[in-house]
Amino acid sequence: MTTTAQLIESGTEEFGRELDRIRDEVLAARGENDARYIRRVIAVQRGLEAGGRVLLFVSILPPAWLAGTAALATAKILENMEIGHNVLHGQWDWMCDPKIHSTTWEWDFSTPAEAWKHSHNFLHHTYTNVLGKDRDIGYSALRIHPEQPWHPVYLAQPFYNLVLAMFFEWGISIYDVELERAWRGEKSWREALTELRGVLGKARRQVIKDYVAYPLLAGPSALPTLLANLAANVIRNVWTHTIIFCGHFPDGTVVFTEDQLDGETRGEWYLRQLTGSANIEGGALFHVMTGNLSHQIEHHLFPDLPSNRYAEIAPKVRELCERFGLPYTTGPLLRQTASVWKRVLRLALPGGTG
């Protein structure tokens, strides 16, 4: 296992101070341009969703079905990734706009916002890639680092990872309840069932909206509308799964042990975020469609900075890594995706290496 000592012999705290300076510069520069950006993205997302829904009302016609499905899938991706995920991180709380605030936003996703903020914002971002603490390492279902003990169930992980990709939001919803901890006696079943009821309540609303209400409103186009909603959700799920996995599990990412958290300094925390994440290269539109999680390294270093600033600070972070002799894992989407799937296949086998 690679340790921080192997990655950098000295200068960790200076590295951290340099990153703090980058963060402070962005915090001081936030303003109307940033606010205009997020409001524009929200307006585009809502326009795409409304336009897609209208087209699906006449989706008995194939061109309308294709256009409506594409518009709806794009709207769902934007809502989840560039808007919902980032709003829930508090990236836009500084605007003091109650409509774009982490305490009031509820997103188009089966996991309730409050449950997501605990499992993602707190657990994952605090304990990034710490084996035994970060439950996002394999999502309690996949072996994606050789340090994870092998079990025969992992032989099937190439298949069930594909299924997980298609139904990612539902897998995450159940995963966030932490049922395995209740089985092990680490949390009470009362607590788990209370959380499960919250998830099921949110899931019921999602199902009624996409698979009952809108199809019924479409009248003669009810069945095509239902199928379009299913297709849009699957497209959104597969895209989200791909971007998240490429940001966390390609070759080059590092895992840590719990004992390495003892006495962890600010600089060492930054170092763990850097080496536990990976970027995906692409153009401006691609970055928006990933929720700027194509800048996963910058997101993990600065999870509460406005996402539109990641492209601006990425060259500074990369230059800093070069100066300190640190890795900066990045690559195009196809290469990162292939790397992840090769890892899933390799580590399905006993004795597989990362």
pLDDT tens per residue, range 285-318? 999 999 999 999 999 999 999 999 999 999 999 9
Alpha helices in the chain (DSSP H): 4-7, 12-29, 32-56, 62-77, 85-88, 113-116, 125-126, 157-166, 168-176, 179-183, 189-208, 214-217, 222-248, 266-275, 284-289, 296-301, 310-324, 333-346
126-147 mean pLDDT: 90
Residue 321: other Cβ atoms inside 10 A: 17
Burial state string for 54-89 with b = 16 or more CB within 10 A and e = fewer than 16: ebbbbbbeeebbebbbbbbbbbbbbbbbbbbbbbbb
Contact between 135 and 178 (Cβ < 8 Å): yes
**Whole-number pLDDT of residue 173:** 86
Average pLDDT value over all residues in the chain = 92
**Which residue in this structure is represented by tokens 């009362």?**
190
- Evaluate if residue 120 carries a pLDDT over 70: yes
State what percent of residues in the chain have pLDDT above 90: 78
Euclidean distance between the first and final Cα of the chain, in Å?
11
pLDDT 10s digits, 176-210:
777 777 777 777 888 878 888 888 889 999 999 99
- pTM to 2 decimal places: 0.93
To 5 degrees, how large is the angle CA 349–CA 352–CA 354? Answer: 130
User: What is the DSSP secondary structure assignment for residue 286, as one 8-state letter?
Assistant: H
Is the pLDDT at 5 greater than 70? The verdict is no
**Nearest alpha carbon to residue 170 among 137, 210, 130:** 210
The angle, 0 to 180 degrees and rounded to 10, between the axes of the packed helices 157-166 and 168-176 is 100
Reduce the DSSP state of residue 281 to 3 states and report it: strand
Residue 57's SS3 state is coil
Confidence of residue 331 (pLDDT cuts 50, 70, 90): very high
Residue 232, pLDDT above cutoff 70: yes
pLDDT over 70 (residue 8): no
Average of per-residue pLDDT across 269-284:
96
| 10 — pLDDT class (breaks 50, 70, 90) | low
Q: Which residues of 100-115 are buried (b: 16+ CB within 10 A; e: fewer)?
A: bbbeebebbbbbbbeb
Give the DSSP letter of residue 150: P
Is 3 a residue whose pLDDT tops 50? no
